[in-house]
Structure 1
Amino acid sequence: MRGLLILLLLYPFLEMYSLFSLADHIGGGWTLAWVIVTFLLGSALMRNSKLGGLLTLAGTLREGKVSLFSLLWPLRVMLAGLLLAIPGLVSDVLALLLMLPWKGPKLANIDMSQAFRQPGAQQHGPDNAANGDIIEGEYEHVDRTTPNDRRLH
């Protein structure tokens, strides 16, 4: 725990040292341009990762099997965008490592038809247990007539 605290306290100094050494090697204007470009890339990644997260979640749920890696992929993109938005080379290297297209292990494969089934629910026939697409219940059709002056269309 103490080592983590020391790393958190040293992190801003590492970032400043990396920026100062980059400015010493390539110049202050190019370093400022680097910081601005990485900030814009990071903010664009964070803005677009919301839609990517929804699409990834919809695709994995449509398949029926969910892996933890595929659910955490949008979180990796969001964290990489945040690290790119922070000025400094250390955070940029960490962001690039997060964005590498690694094939993750399937840590948890969950069959969604079994995940939401109640433990005490009765199964009727082998087809219901295999597909999980039959939901028994009661419903009542209610036809409410709305006056024409109260309709939206």
Structure 2
Amino acid sequence: MFLILLLVFIIVPAMELSVLIQVGDALGVWPTIGLVFFTAIVGVSLVRSQGLHTLMTVQKKLARGEAPGQEIVEGMMLAAAGVLLLIPGFVTDFIGLLLLTPITRSPIAAYMYKRMQLQVVANGRFNGGFGQPGQNPFGSGNPFDNQGNTFDGDFERKQDPQPRSHHIEADKDIIEGDVERPTNKPEDDKR
């Protein structure tokens, strides 16, 4: 995790500054700034159109009763591409364009989706990024934690031994006084 944070907050900005300085020397200051704004505007409009296309593909798959797993991964990649294209710089724009272009996005999304499926199969359930694989992140209250809190059994529905009308007749006799009701009196009466 430390290595990823080091990469994101130190190495990527250093690369961005280096590339911006080199492009600024070659093109000049104002054309470089204009190019940064141009890539951001074009990138955001492409993210919107590709996002709508991906959303329609998801709806079509859902209408056919199929799981749109890869399309959901592609949607997450499009969101990341939008963020990368809005960050000023050419390195993040290049990575954002890789995630945005369908030719490169589809194979990357297919690979990531297969990896997620393998993780689910290997662990028995999706870890979701919390703790170790198979560890319950929400405490021991989960009924699926396989720690002896689940009971396995069978049941069968049985009919009442007496029909319902017999119960009604017995209640009617008690109310009318035909049946003697047992009383629970203490043994003090025998003195």
TM-score interval w.r.t. the shorter chain? 0.5 to 0.7
Moved more, 66-75 or 47-56: 47-56
Give the match for residue 5 of structure 2.
5
> 5+ unaligned residues in a row in structure 1: which ranges?
109-153
Contact 1:83–1:91 under 8 Å retained in 2: yes
Q: Supply the distance in 1 between the matched residues of 2:5 and 2:83 (Cα, whole angstroms).
A: 21
Contact 1:45–1:78 under 8 Å retained in 2: no
Q: Which of structures 1 and 2 has the larger relative contact order (alpha carbons within 8 angstroms, sep 6+)?
A: 1
> Alignment partner of 1:72: what SS?
helix
Letter matched to residue 88 of structure 2:
P
Contact 1:45–1:77 under 8 Å retained in 2: no
Give the match for residue 33 of structure 2.
32
> 5+ unaligned residues in a row in structure 2: which ranges?
118-191
Give the match for residue 66 of structure 2.
65
Q: Percent identity?
A: 29
Give the match for residue 89 of structure 1.
90
Q: TM-score, normalised by structure 2?
A: 0.49
Give the match for residue 23 of structure 2.
22
Give per-residue Cα distances to partners, 1:56-112, cap 9 Å, x unaligned: 22012122222421222122222212211111011011112212323425635xxxx
Count residues with an aligned counterpart. Answer: 108
Q: Supply the distance in 1 between the matched residues of 2:56 and 2:40 (Cα, whole angstroms).
A: 25
Q: TM-score, normalised by structure 1?
A: 0.59
Counting only pairs closer than 5 Å after superposition, residues 1-153 of structure 1 correspond to structure 2 as: 1-10=1-10, 11-48=12-49, 51-100=52-101, 101=103, 102-103=106-107, 104=110, 107=114
Q: Larger Rg: 1 or 2?
A: 2
